[in-house]
Amino acid sequence: MKRRDLLAEAVGTFALVFAGTGAIVINDITGGAVSHIGISLTFGLVILAMIYALGDISGAHFNPAVTIGFWMAHRIERSTVMPYILSQCAGALLASLLLRLLFPSHESLGATQPAGPALQSFVLESILTFVLMLVILQVSRGGKEKGITAGMAVGAVIALEALFAGPISGASMNPARSLAPALVSLQLAHLWIYILAPLAGAVGAVFVARSLQSS
């Protein structure tokens, strides 16, 4: 692990949160100019771009759940896990702080909130992250997401899941993406869902991927 790996994770997660939650904020203040479809595509496309740009450097995790999943799948060293997660959270937090400066009157800054019961969103976020992590494990090389296949597959899954699940759970699939706007906007009541559910989904995907590869 090199310093540039941590910088790549911070930059990639910054781009994800700044573009993705920024699209939510701009959609709110413009009365729907971006649209739900536009928000979903923004999340998918920014991940696609960042995998192409940074995948050869850090592996383009940009998500603590993905980093933990790669570690559990024995694709990265344990010593990599915490520095990666801290870099991801730092990049995400910087993005949310910048959005607060740009849009000081916006209340939530794109923080994820369940539209229905907490358990409903917890199960949904777990399943969404399970599918995302399974795809990542199947298309990545070692502990890295890189190349045309990984970028298109991962970006498409994120956009697809945001399209159908975003209105219910927010389709976070990423503790860093949810943590940053929640902290900056102080929308903390349901943050536990978006930290624990993605971790549960990622862990489940690791076990299924092992079974698929050994059968």
Considering the entire predicted model, what is its pTM? 0.95
The class that CATH gives domain 3-214 is: mainly alpha
φ/ψ (deg, to 5) at 76: -135, 160
Q: Which residues contact 53 (CB under 8 A, 6 or more apart)?
A: 12
What is the rounded CA–CA span in Å between residue 134 and residue 173? Answer: 13
Of 67, 22, 49, nearest to 154 by C-alpha is: 49
DSSP state of 144: B
Please say if the pLDDT value at position 53 is more than 90: yes
Please say if the pLDDT value at position 129 is more than 80: yes
Average model confidence (pLDDT) across the chain: 95
Q: Which residues contact 64 (CB under 8 A, 6 or more apart)?
A: 84, 85, 88, 89, 174, 175, 176, 198, 199
163-173: per-residue pLDDT in tens? 999 999 999 99
